Amino acid sequence: MDPEPLPEAKRECLPVTEAVRPEWAGIDLMATLDLVRLMNSEDRSVPEAVAGQLEQIAAAVDAVVTRMTRGGRLVYAGAGTAGRIGVLDASECPPTFNTAPGQVVGLLAGGPQALVSAVEGAEDRPELALADLEELKLTPDDTVVGISASGRTPYVVAAVRHARTTGALTLGLACTRGSELVAAAALGIEVEVGPEVLAGSTRLKAGTAQKLVLNLLSTAVMVRLGKTYGNLMVDLRAGNEKLRDRAERIVAQATGADEKTVRRALTATDGRAKDAVLVVLADVDAPTAARLLAASDGRLREALALSTRKA
């Protein structure tokens, strides 16, 4: 039996992420291949929806970089799927870009327990957001990104509103237009992906859109902060065998040096790939490389230019 349609007044209150497409009511009767084809077809619309927000994303990147250059932090706040995606992005920044502890933070309604099991009601409690942010002691150099598919999650809206009172930059990321979240934030990114194949399951297209946006945001921020050299992930410290292999490849690609030279540079710099590249290209010792990078705010190209001027 098809689901009963909602009364008109109730339907108008629902965000587009909760809408039901009647033509998909029989997905449980579909052949498996047809089902996954339908889902895949819908997923193709997500990158296009994200592309429509690139100017807003770029503006957010520049604003975040300005603050992080002054020592600010990037803080994600979300609930459920959106919160877990924020925590995932934050947790990937230290191994990928050697960010300092606490430089990129993921806050999830309900705390760490909510990563693996639902904490019922946590997303509806604004006071939890205030407590989480008060613990961080926000400053005007910080950025708080509220993530909510519907754009109306109480925990997330409260986080953004509180952050604005501290002078922090606020960004609302929603998968619907005209949301309470975006209205509360200084900057807004609205990626409208439409109804889900499985009505209301925002871990699907909405979750994919959120992941794509955070990929763009954090990666572009790190590039602007000098965490890369060209498209090489040079801000890497080799702490295990996989990372040692990766560091050797990166230093070799950046410098064109032979294996022996690369390994010697990495040994001298305690596995720091960025320092090792500078050791090879500028022909300096490890302490000098470290000083040049410190004087250049960690930007390798600037450190190389500085080494040339000092030579």
CATH assignment at residue 257: 1.10.8.1080
Residue of 123, 180, 190, 248 marked active site: 123
Are residues 161 and 284 located together in one domain of the fold?
A: no
Distance CA 93, CA 91 (A): 6
Between residues 180 and 202, the one the model is more confident about: 180
Query: Is the residue at 108 inside a domain?
Result: yes
Instruction: Tell me, yes or no, if 259 is annotated catalytic.
Output: no
Residue 172: phi, psi to the nearest 5?
-110, 125
Query: Is the residue at 23 inside a domain?
Result: no
Which residues, other chains included, contact 56 with Cβ-Cβ below 8 Å and sequence gap of 6+? 187, 188, 189, 190
CATH number at residue 112: 3.40.50.10490
Residue 175's pLDDT is: 95
Residue of 4, 48, 55, 92 marked active site: 92
Query: Is the residue at 11 inside a domain?
Result: no
Token pair recorded at residue 80: 């459920």
pLDDT surpassing 50 at residue 3:
no
What does DSSP assign to residue 172? E
Token pair recorded at residue 52: 């429509």
Question: Which residue from 26, 119, 102, 86 is spatially nearest to 214, judged by alpha carbons?
Answer: 86
Are residues 264 and 177 located together in one domain of the fold?
A: no
Strand order in the sheet with 74-78: 104-108, 74-78, 143-148, 169-174, 187-190
Query: Is the residue at 37 inside a domain?
Result: no
Which residues, other chains included, contact 45 with Cβ-Cβ below 8 Å and sequence gap of 6+? 193, 194, 205
Distance CA 181, CA 191 (A): 13
Are residues 82 and 210 located together in one domain of the fold?
A: yes
Dump pLDDT digits (tens) for 258-298.
999 999 999 999 999 999 999 999 999 999 999 999 999 99
Q: Cβ distance 145 to 75 under 8 Å?
A: yes
Are residues 106 and 167 located together in one domain of the fold?
A: yes
Are residues 208 and 264 located together in one domain of the fold?
A: no
Are residues 248 and 186 located together in one domain of the fold?
A: no
**Among the three residues 161, 192, 224, which one is the final residue of a domain in this structure?**
224
pLDDT surpassing 50 at residue 16:
yes
Dump pLDDT digits (tens) for 191-238.
999 988 888 788 899 999 999 999 999 999 999 999 999 999 999 877
pLDDT band at residue 13 under the 50/70/90 scheme = low
Are residues 131 and 269 located together in one domain of the fold?
A: no
**Among the three residues 194, 224, 254, which one is the final residue of a domain in this structure?**
224
Q: Three-state SS for 267?
A: helix
The separation between the first and the last C-alpha atoms of the chain, rounded to the nearest angstrom, is 79
Q: Cβ distance 176 to 192 under 8 Å?
A: yes
Distance CA 185, CA 168 (A): 10
**Among the three residues 224, 258, 292, which one is the final residue of a domain in this structure?**
224
Token pair recorded at residue 148: 């909510």
Query: Is the residue at 208 inside a domain?
Result: yes
Residue 2's pLDDT is: 39
Distance CA 82, CA 79 (A): 6
Instruction: Tell me, yes or no, if 92 is annotated catalytic.
Output: yes
Token pair recorded at residue 268: 């001298």
Dump pLDDT digits (tens) for 65-95.
999 999 999 999 999 999 999 999 999 999 8
Percent of the chain beyond pLDDT 90? Answer: 78
Q: Three-state SS for 272?
A: strand
CB atoms within 10 A of CB 288: 17
Q: Cβ distance 257 to 251 under 8 Å?
A: yes
Q: Three-state SS for 184?
A: helix
Domain that holds residue 220: 47-224
Distance CA 206, CA 22 (A): 19
How many domains in the chain?
2
Distance CA 304, CA 22 (A): 61
